[in-house]
Amino acid sequence: MKKICFFDTTLRDGEQGIGYLLSNEKKLKLLPRLIDLGVDSIEIGMVTDECSESFFYEAASSNIDFKDTYIASLCRLKQVDIEKTILALNRFKKPKLNLLCVGSEIHIKKKFNSTKNNILLMLKDSLEYIINSDYTGKVSAILEDSSRGSFELLEEKINLLTSYHVNDICFADTTGCATPLYVNKLISFFKNKFPDVRFSVHCHNDLGLAVANSISAIDAGADEVQVTLGGVGERCGNASFEEVMAILFYRNEYSNRFKTDIVMKDLIELCNFYYEVINKLPYPNKPLLGKHAFSTCAGIHQSGIKKFPETYEFINPEHLGLERRFYFNRLSSNKISQQEL
């Protein structure tokens, strides 16, 4: 069975969601729980401001047992950023410098007002600088907006990265515009082209497809998915960790082919702990986590669940440490009273 790894970016991309900014104190509460969960890589921020930079040093000097977890930092292709990131990451046992690369012609022209050759040169200079530095950890790359980039551009980027032994490469659907069909085509093409590269995806939820796109990537051969607890993050959020995991765990067509190091119940408990830490609640209809996820007022459903829960429950909430709720109104069964439940 193939192992699927998880790259959690709750502490970096997740806090870009409006109202989800995390203090260093809150991050220090969440970090050991993510490590204990068995996440392969945890992106704890960017070394771009004093507060974010200090967190790397607070975490490294804490009593946290990092086990075999990669501690990652997203890093722009700027020498000063690379210098600061290397200094911050070198304090960890297993550091991962995650280079933010340009993945679309739109960004080349309209974000950087540049040319493809100049962008490739910027990446080459950054890779040369890292090689000649004292950094000995892992280097990965994320191709920003690659869901809108041409395959020709992406192939050139991957060729350059792999020539510097960067074989951990993520396609980012930065604007959340991709569909499962396109993601499958993208991953399949480049997995066939570069069989030795460890590909992953970073999917945004602007069309409500982040989880579906992540699963499509896994189907096509991706080795890892980037996720956040509760799917929090910029604009409409990221791929929801617990939803992706539930599909891999509960659906036979996935559980028979893939394995992970994540225990489903532990993940749900961590999600609930996360919402406690940030003093928020998931929206009521949030899959798995919302107040109404295992609730019903429909009489037909209530009657069936009373007889055999699996008639209307694909997932038994009790297995996740959760509980079902029945609500009563004119749609409820007149044969069931609240006292009976």
Average pLDDT over residues 202-230: 98
Q: According to the model, what pLDDT value does residue 340 have?
A: 43
Judged against a pLDDT cut of 60, whether residue 248 lies above it is answered with yes
Q: Where does the chain show beta strands of DSSP type E? A: 2-3, 5-8, 41-46, 70-75, 95-102, 138-144, 168-173, 198-203, 224-227, 258-259, 295-296, 325-326
Q: According to the model, what pLDDT value does residue 40 have?
A: 98
Judged against a pLDDT cut of 60, whether residue 336 lies above it is answered with no
- In which band, very low, low, confident or very high, does the pLDDT at 300 lie, cut at 50, 70 and 90? low
Average pLDDT over residues 79-98: 97
Average pLDDT over residues 174-179: 98
In this structure, the answer to whether residues 163 and 298 fall within a common structural domain is no
Given 246, 278, 310, the domain boundary residue is 278
Q: According to the model, what pLDDT value does residue 341 have?
A: 42
What predicted TM-score, i.e. pTM, was given to this entire model? 0.94
Query: Would residue 286 count as lying in a domain?
Result: no
As a whole number of angstroms, the distance between CA 338 and CA 341 comes to 5
State the residue range of the domain holding 189: 2-278
Q: Where is pLDDT greater, at 150 or 336?
A: 150
Most confident of 47-56, 198-207, 328-337: 198-207
In this structure, the answer to whether residues 18 and 84 fall within a common structural domain is yes
In this structure, the answer to whether residues 151 and 176 fall within a common structural domain is yes
In this structure, the answer to whether residues 330 and 266 fall within a common structural domain is no
Token pair 């990221």 is found at 238
In this structure, the answer to whether residues 70 and 188 fall within a common structural domain is yes
Query: Would residue 320 count as lying in a domain?
Result: yes
Q: What percent of the chain has pLDDT over 90?
A: 83
- In which band, very low, low, confident or very high, does the pLDDT at 20 lie, cut at 50, 70 and 90? very high
Domain total of the chain: 2
Q: Are 312 and 301 in contact (CB under 8 A)?
A: yes
Query: Would residue 285 count as lying in a domain?
Result: no
